[in-house]
Structure 1
Amino acid sequence: MFPTLFCQGTGVGGFGFETVDSSGLSGGLISVWDESIFAVEGNNKHRNFLHVRGKLKGSNRVVNLLNVYAPQGIQAKKEIWDLICDLILSNDGLWVVCGDFNAVRFREEKRNCSFKPSCASNFNSLIYDAGLIEYEMRGRKFTWQSENSQKMSKLDRFLVNSDFFNDWPEARVQALPSLWSDHCPIVLTSKSANFGARPFRFFNSWLGREGFKEVVEEACLSFSASECNPDVRLIKKLGYVRSKLKSGEMR
């Protein structure tokens, strides 16, 4: 397995890094960043994770990068999830958590492999308790496969907190081809790309926001467009509603 890399910027200039040494042939982590963009203020190291904390230059935003390589055993993973949850809840700022979690969330994330409900439940509890969100992964369904390609699992992923997600709701995770490892690399991209009309995202949590219903009703009633094509008109109307929701009129 290759370690996960956190990498930002253009690739020009100096890079900083932190590592967690391997234990024999097992483990080992490295996190890499562009020093012209990210200024490190501290780190926490554990055999199974590497936490780097710092600020984005220019914006002064606090960012926490957590690189994970989870153990195999169910109880051992549970102990790591508890440590990670405490770490996230005790540090403010944006959070990006990624790596090899050696766990899946749902039965559908395994093929020809045994599914352990207790392991998945513990992993989902970490995600819920720490307030993490997962972007949909594109490119492929699984990130690990056996040598004969008969067994497959989604063991690698990116998780972010709501602060990160609210800043980059249209970020995307891409799984790349696996060339030298039984794991495939995954990349989180926050840079906006023009793929046509933006999808209209809706979150159940919005229903509990005070003023949500009134904002939507007012936006629908006040919308006007000369476009005759019903498909284009609908796209513009949804965009108008989205702009009203993003303008902060909900409380």
Structure 2
Amino acid sequence: MGGHRFTYFHDGVKLSKLDRYLVCQNFLSSFPAAAATALPREILDHYPITLISQHIDFGPPPFKFFNSWLLIEGIEDTVLQAWNTFQGYGPSDSYLAVKLRHLKDAIRNWRNLAHIKEFDVVTKLKLSMENLDKIVESRPLNASELIFTRSSNQRGWLPLT
């Protein structure tokens, strides 16, 4: 059952959830993808429940966009350039769909390039940390090396210069 965790809620106390439904003997064999969903309640103390007997697939979402990408340099320029440089024609709905596909492709290309850059930075930092591990086996670390090790254990990493 999807939706809410409880189907009856009154005065701030969650009371119960339906877990049994009356159906005919052959229901599950005829509708193996059947699912019950508790809908939002507005006025009642019970959540309305719907029973969907077939799987409905609306396809993949147009694209995924993670909020963390907003912190990476270049995303705003990529989106603005892709949005403003698109040229197309046709009915409004298909024009928007093609424009969003163009934007999705531009973001995917930007993300692939950003991922390569991030991977290079991480690889360099790992090599620096490995070098520091070798150094610490033979002598104590100096002040700049200690700053690097402390900063690499936190969120922001500083490369050795």
Q: TM-score, normalised by structure 1?
A: 0.24
The structure whose residues are more often strand, as a share, is: 1
Task: Give the structure with the larger helix fraction.
Answer: 2
When normalised by structure 2's length, the TM-score is 0.35
